[in-house]
Chains A and B, each alone.
Chain A
């Protein structure tokens, strides 16, 4: 029974982990601009992320070392500094965007401009990390994340045409706006295959003291949790395609995205959208901020852990304390949250190769994963994802300039 409970809890948590401001924004943008034509990008990203999350968990459960520590130990600090610095920069922008998502949600409900909310939101994120422990962060916020199932309900109520949904599962190029289309495709993949998720998930496995007996839970959580998360993303895309696209509304601000649930749920749809956006982004802000503290502390071998009292891990807790307020400044200065989101998702795509390539070595190294090495399927998926990541990394910046 407790195993089942643990699996259920883990699945709910990873729905929360999967969804963030990037997943929602890119799916809404994709649906409103290209109807169902980018469904394939969500499906592809989900398959990659399921495999990589499963591996991050397995690595941590067997070796008792997080992905970041293992990368630094196995490849040396002179290599690890690359993904470390890249991830800190990306985390900084994403954290700004997540805080922005919460602020926009508050703006939608209260009418007070998002800039004013940035510091209070950052303070709340910090307070939860400072006073809370890992299971509060992990379970509390992600339970609230179930509110996003509203998108799935709306999808069913709108009765989408199944054959045209199916045709979106196969990649095709549109008649026009090809650069914009490719830019969104790259952003979707960047939003779904997000490195912070792997670092965070493997550190979480260590916080929860996983060992070999948790490998089944790990597999279920990675597969089902990420799968359900992807269903919600698909829901956002489909609803945006059915509600916004026919009216010719392209999502270029969150205010427009807020209309996507009103056709189905009326005024409450507006509230539901604000609540979904706010909760998902708040949860993700906690994770991204904690993730940054994890990778920095693990880079230098400092004591770390959200279950430790701040004074037992002084440097670790200093990192998340400073980082969240710095990232909030992006919003205080009034940078547009949606633009920042799309930009940081494309930037994530640029750093993917250095993060994913080490998986291939670590997941086949007996020192780390013992008898639980990758089989040929997992290895093939990594090799495919590395190839995909290289393509994304090369095209992301030109597309950013041309199509962003």
Chain B
């Protein structure tokens, strides 16, 4: 498995194959005298923005703290929860119960449902 090619930026799906964002970051723990260890995956707009530019990360974080679901913390998924890595990365979670869909849920409840025909 090639972490950058096969994991980073790939589609993240939950155990029912519901799309829950993409793998925006990979957390690797460096340990003294031992090989580095892959611990978590991260998904969230701030993680993604940081990869483009640190300033963009601050802007996105400020925006997310003020608007909508008011969540700027990325979701960390322990590597142990990863079930399968193909083109998609499947994790053993329930998407709707995580914060990965915070903005999806906020838009659904605050905007989409209030437009006629949206529910």
Contacts and interface: CB of A to CB of B under 8 A. Distances in A.
B4 A76 contact: yes
Nearest to A131: B117
Interface in B21-51: 21-22, 24, 43, 45, 48, 51
B16 to A, nearest CB: 12
Given A78-B52, A130-B117, A303-B18, A73 B10 contact: yes
A314 B8 CA distance: 25
Report whether over half of chain B's contact residues are helix, strand or loop; otherwise say mixed: mixed
A128 B105 CA distance: 24
Interface stretch (B58-66, B70-78, B107-115): B107-115
Interface in A354-387: 367-368
A58 B11 CA distance: 20
B9 A72 contact: yes
A74 interface: yes
In this complex, the member of A70, A77, A303, A311 whose beta carbon has the largest number of chain B beta carbons within 10 angstroms is A311
Given A301-B20, A303-B18, A314-B112, A73 B9 contact: yes
Interface residues of A, number: 29
Contact of B11 (A69, A78, A131): A69
B112 A317 contact: yes
Nearest to A297: B19
A314 B19 contact: no
A365 to B, nearest CB: 10
Contacts of B94: none
Nearest to A298: B11
A297 to B, nearest CB: 9
A199 to B, nearest CB: 16
A65 interface: yes
B117 A76 contact: no
Given A72-B9, A72-B22, A131-B117, A314 B107 contact: yes
Contacts of B51: 77-78
Contacts of B52: 77-78, 81
A318 B9 contact: no
Interface of A: 63-65, 69-70, 72-74, 76-78, 80-81, 130-131, 300-304, 310-311, 314-315, 317-318, 321, 367-368
Interface of B: 4-5, 8-12, 18-22, 24, 43, 45, 48, 51-52, 87, 103-105, 107-108, 111-113, 115, 117-119
List the 5 shortest-distance A-B pairs measured between CB atoms, nearest first. A301-B22, A314-B108, A314-B107, A301-B21, A303-B19
23 contacts: A65-B11, A65-B87, A73-B10, A76-B9, A77-B9, A77-B22, A77-B48, A77-B51, A78-B51, A81-B52, A130-B117, A300-B45, A301-B12, A301-B20, A303-B19, A310-B117, A314-B112, A317-B118, A318-B111, A318-B112, A321-B115, A367-B87, A368-B87
